Structure 1
Amino acid sequence: MSTPRPLALAVSLAAAGSPLIVQAQDPEALSPLTVTAEAVTKTETPFNETPQSVSVIENEEWDARGADTVQRAADYTPGVYTNQVGASNRYDYLALRGFTEGSVSNTFLDGLKVMSDGGSFSSLVVDPWFLERIEVVKGPASVLYGRASPGGLVAQTSKRPEFERSGELRLKAGNNAQRGAAFDLTGPIDEQRRAAFRLTGLARAADTQFDPVEEERYALAPQLSWDVTDATSLTLHAYLHKDPEGGYHSGLPFEGTVVDHAGRRVSHTFFEGEEDFEKFEREQRMVGYELEHRFTDALTGRQKLRFTDADVELEQVYAFGWANDTELNRFFSSADESLQALAVDNQLEARLATGGVDHTLLAGVDYQQRDNDVTWGSGMFPTIDAFDPQYGAEPTAMFADVRRKRELDQTGVYLQDQLAVGNWRLNLGGRHDWVDISNTDLDSDIESELDDTQFSGRAGVLYLFDNGLAPYASYTTSFSPNAAVDQNGDLIEPSQGEQVETGLKFQPAGTQDRYSLSLFHITQENLATKRASESFFRATGEIESRGVELEAHRQVTDNLRLQAGYSYTDVTLEKTDDANQGNTDNWVPRHQASVWGQYAFQQGGLTGLDAGLGVRYYADIHADEANTEKLPDYTLVDATLGYDLAEVGLEGVSARLNVNNLLDEEYVAGCSSIDFCYFGAERSVTATVSYAF
């Protein structure tokens, strides 16, 4: 007997410190802000010279908002939906331009893919305390990175050793028993300043709104940078991460959460599982290095390598549909997974001029390898009364485990040329990948395989006016392997995406302001679809996403900084093997808008104080692919208040209060289907004290 396995299960320190305000005598004195878009090009390219949409999030921004996950750090980024699974913090769900599939595995760390295994529970995360910044690349990026979602990717940049000694200590407390401590130390280790270290760590824990489920995390990142010669540098790094408690991650039916079931609604704090069968433990170990050698001023070689070893253990009792007016059906899911992965990227960058054309050439060869040994269990549990729950039940049936070995090998060769001709900027790139995937049933020795090659390309053009305006247009493609099998038992061919984008970027000269407008059209073909009468899949599905995004960052005065964004995303199921063809895809807001403002008092009795307020709005979200139901629109308000205690003689000490969901809105954030809808997070209040030295 098979049991339903919900889609979400299958993928299954707020900061004090300096405010975001740059002090200056007058607006003319503000130095220009050069925002680079390295993730798009793998080279240092200014934001307004990149013919593709990219949003850059600096750590000062998410610190001020009190974000303690990467998905929360991206809350105010247009084109990114971060609320798929509501109150859950187990994974970083980042759906870009409406593409929800792969939203937990589209992250990269320092240019290398965070080797999550989509379709399993081994989706890895990096705590934002260890990051310097996050770049969100909108649209396909396979030309430089290989397999990736057509919606884009999220590139995370780690903090790195610095040759000036500094440090920071933080303590945090809040409601739901939130508590945490973190540190960050860096500086030179020799008198000649040819070597430097960085040691960053944190420990934090909290209860959740779904009693008795808890969250707990410990992480440590030791690093060493060494200037071997004046032309050669080497950085050794590690990231050690353990989540003994992974928090809540489950959904409930649309009927009973969004609308009444038998005249009643389930509490947004209801726990439908069993404490003795509730477990999520994740351990991640990443080690690697970055080597760079400058052969000449115009020629540089780089190699980045990282090895990942991770273990995940899971047990969960979850609900699947109503049994009667008060009771929910319940099933059991378990997993024991062991993941090993290797990623390496070799690059050669050359800067040269031919006639009146300046070239930045990038050639590379990269390799990704992933092995995941998994054991999945399932079973059945007694029903539970959603309005008067009684716990302590035992399983009524347990089924045979499924044991599989999941392997992937990918080798890619890529070439990119960025051309500058006067005010014109052109970007041309191509890549060829060899992909080998196999999934083996260890009990039957039945193997599903894919041995494929893929080509990805990109062409973009931009004109940079002297006043800072930069209109652009681009065409990019992507590919992403499918996990479903055809009638012969082989993995179906990878899905393929292509995007046409046009837009306008603007950064007024001599200011920190930046604005962007983009219009895009993405199609993804060869998606896995299945007819109701068949047990196998076909690569016949197609999704179309089109929309517009606007983003603005403005320093209004010396004291006030504003950030605003809006995205309209229309995602259509263009081709399916069922009655949903032509419908709007679910789990995606058609309209998403946000604004965040922060004000710093720099004179008078309030000197040292800063205050911030943000509003997020989500609208027009379908609950299912059949488009039978929609979620109510919802608006969330976040706030912060910070104070630099140097004003009262405590040099280096600052404090911050963060309140997310200030109005304690009770809402359903999203639905993966009519059977699995996810409550949003209740109000969170945290206080942080920081000491920088």
Structure 2
Amino acid sequence: MRSFMFTRSRLSLSIAFCLSGLAVTPGAWAQETSGSEAQELDALSVTAVRGATKTETPVMETPQTVNVIDSEEWQERGAESVQRAAAYTPGVGTNQVGSSNRYDYLILRGFSGGSINNTYLDGLRVMNDGGSYSSFAIDPWFLERIEIVKGPTSVLYGQSSPGGIVALTSKRPEFESGGEVRATLGNNNQRGFAFDLTGPVDEDRRVAYRLTGLMSASDAQQDYIERERRAIAPSLTWDVTDQTSLTLLAYVQQDPEGGYHSGLPYEGTVESRNGQKIDNTFFEGEPDYDEFTRDMIMAGYDLEHDFSPAWTARQKFRYLESDVSLKQVYAYGWANDSELIRYYSGGEEDLEAITVDNQLEGSIFTGAAEHRVLVGLDYQQRDNEVVWPSGAFPSIDAFDPVYGAGPSAMYPAERNERKLKQTGLYVQDQVTLGGWHLSFGGRHDWVDIENTNQDTGVASEMDETQFTGRAGLLYQFENGVAPYLSYSTSFSPNAYVDENGDLLEPSTGKQIETGLKFQPVGTQDLYTLSVFRITQEDLATKVPNEQFYRAIGELQSQGVELEAKSHLTDNLTIQAGYAYTDVTFEKAEAYREGNQASQSPEHQLTLWTGYRFDQGVLDGARAGVGVRYVGDMQADDANTEEVPDYTLVDMALAYNFARQGLPGVTAQLNVNNLLDKEYVASCYNSLDYCYYGAEREVTASVSYRF
């Protein structure tokens, strides 16, 4: 490992200035460098990602759609969450719950179910409990990049959404000293401070550290609601020998205030209610009965050993512990012309989880063909003890609210223990022969889920085995064109029970995808086109006249995605994306059979341009503007109403004070939803829960890099 020390430090430096694997970070926002330094960074540009294959594989050799978002890119746009960081990625829905940032909802290729539970950090699943409140949001300040892998990925990760996964890469220690501090202020009482420090510990540079931290707070868009976060992530890398490296990682996050997370009726938000509309700052709850706190601790390690230049073994391990407390009064339809019906939900949850992934990777030659073989055995375990009280509250006038009410009824709390165990054995072979790149693999999973009512002792159980596979073929021409074709499968546990009270068998997914990637020779520009069709079977469906569910439903998603990331000139960059996604219920209850799924727009169009000034009085200034369009989205699965199309404009301005004798100092201004458009972002399944989108957000920051 010692021989790779210098390479690793340069690799991390390169990541900071380049889009790892897809294209270059918009040049208007690159850190100021000298000409020789810029040439060196170009030569060392990162072209490999791990999310799709668990190996360092160039995007141009991966027969699957992988969208990569670099930290420079989302910092340029002022994104404060992972879901906002992906707002300019085609085929990714980031507005599922409107202005809320409590969780990271990322709808991939139209699959809204599981959008909160498809996140992986450093190759290991973030052990959310999708059927509870214990789902987590990793702050993007602690991340180096985000890889969005489209389509089924169970062959490497086990249970997952057929739409894909979101693979996060955390910041790691570097063997060159450096750091950054940042202060922010903005509307809605925004304030924050963040730091990021790294460097060697010893003179021999065998040990390096990184310490990253953040404190932030703001008022939410809605009245009486706040958001607050404190987080810190220490890490340490030790080159034990020239062949062995160990990285220790920890992450501690406290969210004392979780912000807003609720919806309002279609009539009153999209349409008027008796000639009136509910204000997009309206809070339908009760200030004295509103609470969301989340404390999370993660700790683990990455251990890697090179047996030879061709064979490497790895073990990744993480322990997670979380406490979540919730109190919420929410609306559920109209009581009369102006008042909303209200209910109460609460939660006290204590989650513990472990994940471990053992890998052996090596290269084998058979004639002229090179095989990169990966064999792995992983294990996941989750135990979540939950207490869920509920009740009813008096109604509230949506147009002239008066607060201070108490519960009109409280019901006995539901107490459950939710356990999951999953073991997976997988094999993957990536074959290279000239310009041909063939990838195929298979996986066998053993899944055991048990949800027990601790008051009655009644348990809902599922004990299943699943096989998933994937195969893909790509040919890379010398002119930078690479057509590909792939097929992959997935599985995902159902949350509903059958007539015997047992959990339904997992739903399964399959995708066929073909596409074209083009990277002009000698550039970091990238243009991609993909066409796909995904079928998810065995969805939980309730047959008429039956009070239980059967796993007989089917959901089909098909569409086209295009993305371009390009330098038009040395100073002007552009990122454009378009997605057409048709998501239809092929087998379902009568009211939604053959209909388009809600929360999945048919059309998404994004465009971002950035410009860097390098002459005259504006030398050191940078500017960016973006447009996001969402169209043709159903408000309910019965397809009785639609969510109006909406277009949002974002803006960014920055100035580097290096020319003024302050190297490393940058001031930045971000304005999201520049025109302050009031809009409904989506509606969930019915017309009772529609979510207002975020209002105009203005954020100013000053940072210092050293």
Match of 1:40 among 52, 57, 61: 52
* Per-residue Cα deviation, 1:616-664 (whole angstroms, up to 9, x for no partner): 0000010000000001100000000000011111121111000000000
- Give the secondary structure class of the aligned counterpart of 2:307: strand
After TM superposition, list the pairs within 5 Å mapping 1:123-138 onto structure 2: 123-138=135-150
Q: Tell me how far apart the structure 2 counterparts of residues 571 and 459 of structure 1 sit (CA, whole Å).
A: 24
Corresponding residue for residue 213 of structure 1: 225
Structure 1 residue 461 corresponds to structure 2 residue 485: no
- Give the secondary structure class of the aligned counterpart of 2:412: coil
Contact persistence 1:16–1:654 (CA under 8 A):
no
Q: How many residues align?
A: 679
Corresponding residue for residue 9 of structure 2: none
Q: Tell me how far apart the structure 2 counterparts of residues 91 and 369 of structure 1 sit (CA, whole Å).
A: 22
After TM superposition, list the pairs within 5 Å mapping 1:64-75 onto structure 2: 64-75=76-87
Structure 1 residue 19 corresponds to structure 2 residue 29: yes
Structure 1 alignment gaps of length 5 or more: 1-14
- Give the secondary structure class of the aligned counterpart of 1:281: strand
Structure 1 residue 678 corresponds to structure 2 residue 691: yes
Q: Tell me how far apart the structure 1 counterparts of residues 190 and 99 of structure 2 sit (CA, whole Å).
A: 15
* Per-residue Cα deviation, 1:384-403 (whole angstroms, up to 9, x for no partner): 00010000000000001000
Corresponding residue for residue 113 of structure 2: 101
Residues 157 and 139 of structure 1, relative CA distance in 2, 3 Å threshold = same
Match of 1:596 among 603, 608, 614: 608
Match of 1:156 among 156, 168, 191: 168
Query: Which sits farther off after the overlay, 86-95 or 529-538?
Result: 529-538
Match of 1:425 among 431, 434, 437: 437
Write the letter of the residue equivalent to 1:692: R
Runs of 4 or more consecutive aligned structure 1 residues displaced over 3 Å after TM superposition: 15-18, 20-34
Contact persistence 1:20–1:561 (CA under 8 A):
no
Match of 1:534 among 546, 549, 552: 546
Match of 1:253 among 265, 280, 294: 265
Write the letter of the residue equivalent to 2:401: P
Contact persistence 2:228–2:255 (CA under 8 A):
yes
Pairwise CA distance, 1:33: 4.4
Contact persistence 1:542–1:576 (CA under 8 A):
yes
User: When the two structures are superposed, what TM-score results if normalisation uses the length of structure 2?
Assistant: 0.95
Q: Tell me how far apart the structure 2 counterparts of residues 279 and 674 of structure 1 sit (CA, whole Å).
A: 26
Pairwise CA distance, 1:544: 0.2
Corresponding residue for residue 506 of structure 1: 518
* Per-residue Cα deviation, 1:643-688 (whole angstroms, up to 9, x for no partner): 0011111121111000000000000000002100000000000000
Contact persistence 1:32–1:510 (CA under 8 A):
no
Q: Tell me how far apart the structure 2 counterparts of residues 282 and 210 of structure 1 sit (CA, whole Å).
A: 20
Match of 2:678 among 651, 666, 671: 666
Pairwise CA distance, 1:24: 8.7
Contact persistence 2:27–2:610 (CA under 8 A):
no
Pairwise CA distance, 1:16: 14
Corresponding residue for residue 381 of structure 1: 393
Contact persistence 2:312–2:362 (CA under 8 A):
yes
Structure 2 alignment gaps of length 5 or more: 1-24
Contact persistence 1:623–1:670 (CA under 8 A):
yes
Corresponding residue for residue 293 of structure 2: 281
User: When the two structures are superposed, what TM-score results if normalisation uses the length of structure 1?
Assistant: 0.96
Contact persistence 1:568–1:592 (CA under 8 A):
yes
- Give the secondary structure class of the aligned counterpart of 2:57: coil
Q: Tell me how far apart the structure 2 counterparts of residues 681 and 256 of structure 1 sit (CA, whole Å).
A: 17
Contact persistence 1:172–1:180 (CA under 8 A):
yes
- Give the secondary structure class of the aligned counterpart of 1:224: strand
Pairwise CA distance, 1:208: 1.2
Q: Tell me how far apart the structure 2 counterparts of residues 17 and 442 of structure 1 sit (CA, whole Å).
A: 57
After TM superposition, list the pairs within 5 Å mapping 1:570-585 onto structure 2: 570-585=582-597
Contact persistence 2:26–2:610 (CA under 8 A):
no
Pairwise CA distance, 1:531: 2.8
Q: Tell me how far apart the structure 1 counterparts of residues 322 and 392 of structure 2 sit (CA, whole Å).
A: 28
Contact persistence 1:658–1:686 (CA under 8 A):
yes
- Give the secondary structure class of the aligned counterpart of 2:513: strand
Match of 2:274 among 262, 270, 276: 262
Contact persistence 1:381–1:396 (CA under 8 A):
yes
Contact persistence 2:28–2:622 (CA under 8 A):
no
Contact persistence 1:449–1:490 (CA under 8 A):
yes
Residues 284 and 291 of structure 1, relative CA distance in 2, 3 Å threshold = same
Write the letter of the residue equivalent to 1:685: V
Contact persistence 1:206–1:215 (CA under 8 A):
yes
Structure 1 residue 182 corresponds to structure 2 residue 214: no
Q: Tell me how far apart the structure 1 counterparts of residues 385 and 644 of structure 2 sit (CA, whole Å).
A: 41
Corresponding residue for residue 647 of structure 1: 659
Contact persistence 1:415–1:431 (CA under 8 A):
yes
Q: Tell me how far apart the structure 1 counterparts of residues 165 and 68 of structure 2 sit (CA, whole Å).
A: 12
Structure 1 residue 242 corresponds to structure 2 residue 247: no
Contact persistence 2:446–2:464 (CA under 8 A):
yes
Pairwise CA distance, 1:84: 0.6
Q: Tell me how far apart the structure 2 counterparts of residues 532 and 242 of structure 1 sit (CA, whole Å).
A: 45
- Give the secondary structure class of the aligned counterpart of 2:83: helix
Residues 630 and 118 of structure 1, relative CA distance in 2, 3 Å threshold = same
Q: Tell me how far apart the structure 1 counterparts of residues 134 and 93 of structure 2 sit (CA, whole Å).
A: 21
Corresponding residue for residue 558 of structure 1: 570
- Give the secondary structure class of the aligned counterpart of 2:305: strand
- Give the secondary structure class of the aligned counterpart of 2:333: strand
Structure 1 residue 297 corresponds to structure 2 residue 319: no
* Per-residue Cα deviation, 1:223-263 (whole angstroms, up to 9, x for no partner): 11000000000000100000000000000000110001112
- Give the secondary structure class of the aligned counterpart of 1:57: strand
Write the letter of the residue equivalent to 1:675: D
Identify which of structures 1 and 2 has the higher relative contact order when contacts are C-alpha pairs closer than 8 Å and 6+ apart: 1
Contact persistence 1:31–1:512 (CA under 8 A):
no
Question: % of aligned pairs identical?
Answer: 62
CA RMSD after TM alignment = 1.6
Contact persistence 2:27–2:570 (CA under 8 A):
no
Residues 540 and 151 of structure 1, relative CA distance in 2, 3 Å threshold = same
Structure 1 residue 657 corresponds to structure 2 residue 669: yes
Pairwise CA distance, 1:119: 1.0
Structure 1 residue 451 corresponds to structure 2 residue 463: yes
- Give the secondary structure class of the aligned counterpart of 2:485: strand
- Give the secondary structure class of the aligned counterpart of 1:64: helix
- Give the secondary structure class of the aligned counterpart of 2:636: coil
Write the letter of the residue equivalent to 2:626: G
Write the letter of the residue equivalent to 1:342: I
Q: Tell me how far apart the structure 2 counterparts of residues 148 and 447 of structure 1 sit (CA, whole Å).
A: 24
Pairwise CA distance, 1:535: 2.1
Structure 1 residue 59 corresponds to structure 2 residue 43: no
Contact persistence 1:21–1:600 (CA under 8 A):
no
Pairwise CA distance, 1:272: 0.4
